Chains A and B, each alone.
Chain A
Amino acid sequence: GAVVSQHPSWVICKSGTSVKIECRSLDFQATTMFWYRQFPKQSLMLMATSNEGSKATYEQGVEKDKFLINHASLTLSTLTVTSAHPEDSSFYICSASDDDLYGYTFGSGTRLTVV
């Protein structure tokens, strides 16, 4: 089946710095990817839809200037958390589809801790 890779798997950064998270489709091309966030003991929350070659679409309440999404190629989408603060500490997960029977595959997630 399709494989979606996220990098890094975990990151610790200082408050006020920016962090970039990569989401790659390893063996297929993905025109659309989705970014989710999950706080401890909570469910996944959709943040944005990442479209190759165009601007991302953000869900209500998600700050587009804080969570910068770039989908410059059919195999890579990046999420940059700018000026990170402790409240941004969370588990960030992406998903992508190769449009076959198995639909959307999720990455293994990135654990962000802001100190």
Chain B
Amino acid sequence: DAKTTQPPSMDCAEGRAANLPCNHSTISGNEYVYWYRQIHSQGPQYIIHGLKNNETNEMASLIITEDRKSSTLILPHATLRDTAVYYCIVSDDWGKFQFGAGTQVVVTP
């Protein structure tokens, strides 16, 4: 079973920041938090990952709480192309993922 809980859906206005929450209260010390997204009928796309510290790359920022029981993915300036299902995954074995239901993000003009 997936070890994460995400809201099923979220709407976001184009150009605004999208903040996607994820709860992973049972995360263990050696498990990383990974974020992938899946646009309809395509394979998932890697976004970002982290262990303890906040991370930022060209796509997004990842904020992990100090107790590591939750995290937030931030898309700084959402575009229509960011419409997708976003998956938050915790794993100590990169690539061997148990996907949850994810969050369907719809970016509107």
**Interchain CB contact under 8 A, B46 and A104:** yes
Count of residues in B whose CB is under 8 Å from the partner chain:
21
Q: For chain A, give the interface size range.
A: 20 to 34
The answer, yes or no, to whether A54 is at the interface (CB within 8 Å) is no
Q: Which residues of A contact B100 (CB under 8 A)?
A: 43
**Interchain CB contact under 8 A, A32 and B42:** no
Closest A residue, CB atoms, query B98: A46
Which of B43, B96, B99 is the one whose CB lies under 8 Å from A43? B99
Q: With A43-B100, A103-B49 in contact, do A108 and B94 touch (Cβ < 8 Å)?
A: no
Q: Max chain A CB contacts within 10 Å: which of B38, B44, B97?
A: B44
**Interchain CB contact under 8 A, A108 and B44:** no
Which of B2, B43, B46, B97 is the one whose CB lies under 8 Å from A109? B43
Q: With A43-B100, A43-B101, A43-B102 in contact, do A32 and B46 touch (Cβ < 8 Å)?
A: no
Chain A nearest Cβ from B52, distance in angstroms = 17
Chain A nearest Cβ from B30, distance in angstroms = 16
Q: Interface residues, chain A, CB within 8 Å of chain B?
A: 4, 6, 32, 34, 36, 43-46, 49, 91, 93, 95-97, 102-109, 111
**Interface pairs (23), CB distance under 8 Å:** A4-B43, A32-B95, A34-B96, A43-B99, A43-B102, A44-B44, A44-B87, A44-B97, A46-B97, A46-B98, A46-B99, A91-B41, A93-B43, A95-B43, A96-B95, A102-B46, A104-B95, A105-B46, A106-B36, A106-B46, A108-B43, A109-B41, A109-B43
Q: Interface residues, chain B, CB within 8 Å of chain A?
A: 2, 34, 36, 38, 41-46, 49, 87, 94-102
